[in-house]
Amino acid sequence: MEQPYASRRERAQTRLQERGADGAVAYPGPNLQYFTGFRGEPVDRFHALYLPAEGEATLVTPDGYHTQARTNASVEAFRTVPGNDPAAVAGALAELFGDGDRLLVDDDALHALTGPLYAELGAESVESAAPLFRALRRRKDESEVTALKRSAAVADEVSEAVRALGAEAVGLTEAELATEIRAELHTRGARSVAFDVVVGSGPNGADPALRFSDREIRASEPVVVDFGCFLDGYASDQTRTVVFDGDPPARFPDVHEAVLAALDAGVDAVEPGATAGDVDAAVRETLADRGYGDRFTHPTGHGVGLASHEDLSIAEGEETTLEAGMVFSVEPGVYFEGEFGVRIEDLVVVTEDGCERLNDSPRTWEPL
């Protein structure tokens, strides 16, 4: 497959020129990976990509990590600096920047390079690169959609494996099931979890912010299971609500059906030209029609890509227009405090004439 990195850098360069900026710097993490294929983590290795508005991109690397960078990064030029010294890397970046006026610097996360860079260049010539990088990463190219589908497939497989536990899951603590899920993800090639696994049994499932606890999973109670992994740098994220054994609470089947209908309505509303708010409204109205509107207490979804939560927000009144290539979650939930919660989540990619789901594992609550 043709490497997408050069064309991503070209698109960035066009935008730099449009903005009248002379260059941009990307740090290790999602942005460096986006432009070079090399994630460069952990963050205490001070690689940095210098991308000028015109001309060749240069990856500045500490000499100790030079081989690793050369093997993994697809970029026109490399420059090595001695040691692993942020000031030396900042010096090299300043040299590449030369007598430019405006440099856009990666600030998605605090980074040890930022201080030295400001010191080298002066605060007046440095600006955030976040708006530019986010805009570029929002629409996924073909190779990214392929990677996201692979990551989603791993999450789906693990979801099915977990649900196949059936009655065996009863008596495990939430933490133990979370450990099992992490192990299953790693077995299938995941590098890490995309965010900490959520196992919310019974009343714990009613708190969408909770991850897991030492509470034992019991028969006849709904369990919200929400997780994803990083595979080749790309995140997955899906949720199913399961009853591992026994009969669920009386009102649960109706709630589950309503959440499923809300998910379907949300997915049906996804097409180029619709807004993020339209998708949220479709979900919210479906739940309201069924009497659960006031129990859906969070936004409908979020962007997913090289990070598990990207800045695209599928929420009430969001006016962002959906475009082909955007990938995000649709994740309605209904929560009964002290009793149980139900959330079902799929990722979708916007296509030219609608959307495609990235997840296809069973959405029923019964054990598989």
Instruction: Tell me which amino acid residue 134 is.
Output: R
- Options 225-233, 244-252, 267-275, 352-360: segment touching Zn ion (CB under 5 A): 225-233
Size of the site for Zn ion (CB under 5 A): 5
- Residue 260: how many other CB atoms lie within 10 Å: 18
Strands 333-336 and 103-105: unpaired
Q: What part of residues 235-254 is at the interface with Zn ion (CB under 5 A)? A: 237, 239
- Per CB under 5 A, 310 contacts Zn ion: no
- Residues 36, 204, 300, 329: which binds Zn ion (CB under 5 A)? 329
Instruction: Using the minimum distance from each CB to Zn ion, give the nearer residue, 258 or 314.
Output: 314
Nearer to Zn ion, 93 or 267 (CB): 267
Is 151 near Zn ion (CB under 5 A)? Answer: no
Q: Which residues contact 187 (CB under 8 A, 6 or more apart)?
A: none
In the complex, minimum distance from the CB of residue 208 to Zn ion, in angstroms, rounded to a whole number = 10
Question: Is the backbone of residue 355 left (phi > 0), alpha (psi -120 to 50) or beta?
Answer: beta
Query: Measured from the CB atom, is 15 or 343 closer to Zn ion?
Result: 343
The nearest distance, CB 328 to Zn ion, in angstroms, is 9
SS3 of residue 175 by DSSP: helix
Half-sphere exposure of 111 (CA within 13 A, CB side): 28
Q: Contact between 226 and Zn ion (CB under 5 A)?
A: yes
Closest CB to Zn ion among 58 and 239? Answer: 239
For 358, the token pair is 């990235």
**Pairing status of strand 310-314 against strand 238-243:** unpaired
How far, in Å, CA of 357 to CA of 153, rounded?
11
Closer to Zn ion by Cβ: residue 215 or 298: 298
Give me the residues that bind Zn ion (CB under 5 A), please. 226, 237, 239, 329, 345
